[in-house]
Structure 1
Amino acid sequence: MMKCLLVMALFGALALTCSAYSRGAPQGACDTMEPLGHSGARRNPAPNPYSLSAPSKANPSDTITVELSGADFKGYMIQAVTPKGQVVGTFTTSGLSCNPQTQARDTATHSSSNVVRNITVQWVAPPDAAGIVYFRGTVVQDYSNYYTNIYSNPVSFGPAE
């Protein structure tokens, strides 16, 4: 009986581990943009089948659409970053706050583990946006393979109208 309970507990723990991040990346992944809980996974197996795209121009406070597309995938994280790596702006779609001081949704992430081929997210530029930003992403293709440092084209900010 004890052996049976031990086996059931082990399978229960494995089930929780496998589905732990099916509803989005955890806050612990914010700093590295690396998926957590994917031990033994291969990072950036070549070639990278994904791309991030955004409009080339925007104004401060604009809401813009960002698209992630490519081969099938199960999870993602996207941030808007300045050339110096500062995370800026807010996503209106599912996301998490990687900055505990602001509690803003500064990182977009998946809300299920369904397989998809592309997604679009809405991002709101800060009212003082200037210069350029890039969208930086991580994509989890499957449990064993993920891609990091996927960058969009630059988005240039003009004066507010």
Structure 2
Amino acid sequence: MCDFIRRTLTDPSIFWTALESLATIFAATIIFYELRRARQETVAHKFEGFQYALRLLASEDFQRYITAFNFLVENRNADKRSTNMPLMVQGILQTLEVVQMLITEKYLDEDLFFKTEGNRLANLGLQIRTLEEEKDMLRFEEQRRLYPNGHKLLVRAEKWKEKFSNKNA
């Protein structure tokens, strides 16, 4: 063993090869721990994004929009619908725009979000679409134009619900 160490330290070709090997092992160890730390940070960011999205959907403002929207859907008064419904849809899409931004920026895992909130959002999207398809009913083009990503999130939630329902059927 001592002869091996003496030869390694005195023979330049062996010394530099051994030093390169040690440096490679050291660098690989650092990279491994940095990747592990980065993955843990990513998971932490996604968890924080998930919590923030759930807080947005549970917020007083969003719940007020949902409650008023559901009341207007059940109430067949056309005058109140035509004046208040676009504001409710705009408030809903505005909040969903922020949630979509979290998904786009990789702060929120879309699958996890849809597993927890997908059915509720799909039903909401279906209600909005059904209202638009009724004869002589409101169209929400202006609200969709203002918040296109919020609307796309509702459409994706409907597709997710349909896909998930087909898997379980």
TM-score between both structures, scaled by the size of structure 2: 0.24
The structure with the largest helix share of the pair is 2
The structure with the largest strand share of the pair is 1
Larger relative contact order (C-alpha < 8 A, sep ≥ 6)?
A: 1
TM-score between both structures, scaled by the size of structure 1: 0.25
Specify the structure having the higher radius of gyration (Cα). Answer: 2
